[in-house]
Structure 1
Amino acid sequence: MSSHLITTTWKGNMQFESTNPGGSLLIDTAEEGGGSNNGLRPKALMLSALAGCSGLDVASLIKKMRLDVDDFKIETEGFLTDTEPQVYDKILVTYHFYGTNLNNDKLSRAVDLSVEKYCGVMHMFRSFADVQIKVVFHNKE
């Protein structure tokens, strides 16, 4: 069984530094929450992890399928419950593909493979939230 060890160290006030095998980042909260607004938010980091996991899958599939894509981005919006503790109960993940010769069918297939088969973070999110997927093609002339 493999594992990941993440070390998160208090840096004072409401700030932490979290180190994982690929680097480190600062975590903090807004001034109204007692922080100094100098770091990433924990819940928002979950959305970044979701987009990053799926993005890596899609990038790999674009390469394997030899697709012509100039650029792509993923917008991930999480909707929080009104009750405490606030948790994500709905997520909207929108994939945007840009290019002059986009193969919409194969790109949609790449997204589907990530969402349905490869992305472990997506599977984790689906255990506690309604995850909606949207794919948008921006074909340049």
Structure 2
Amino acid sequence: MPKFRIYYVARRPHGMRIDSEYTRSFEEPRGLLRHGEMNWEEDIEARNAREALRAFFEEHLERLADLAYIDADGRTQRPYRIEDFDPDRTYVWTEDDRLMEFQGIENLEGGLVPCPLCGGSGEVTPDVAEEFAEIEEEGEEYHR
């Protein structure tokens, strides 16, 4: 079964206190993150991206009604069914006293390779790596 990585962020308005387990892994004084933001990622096995989102939200939500997405006009909307989950939407919800935001999803079964553009510090699909390699061979510069 394919594996997907879900990226999300936790935010608190005036800094985020984190427990002692996490404090040991950061060099922030007294466990307070200056910007009140912490990035997370979670791997989930599912048949497709929509099913991965469903499984992710089942773990993170008490009720589906707690979930909203930001529409094209910047307003929040509620998904009504699992079929409504769209990996390209920005979802928001709350967990405890944190505002959570879905940042994206990645299929890990695509055989990711080191990124030639960033010197291998990131991973991309083989197609993207090949495109960058062709651009480099032709002596062109890559522009975002």
Q: What is the TM-score of this pair, normalised by structure 2?
A: 0.28
Higher radius of gyration, 1 or 2: 2
Instruction: Please identify which structure carries the higher helix content.
Output: 1
Higher relative contact order (CA 8 A, sep 6+): 2
Q: What is the TM-score of this pair, normalised by structure 1?
A: 0.29
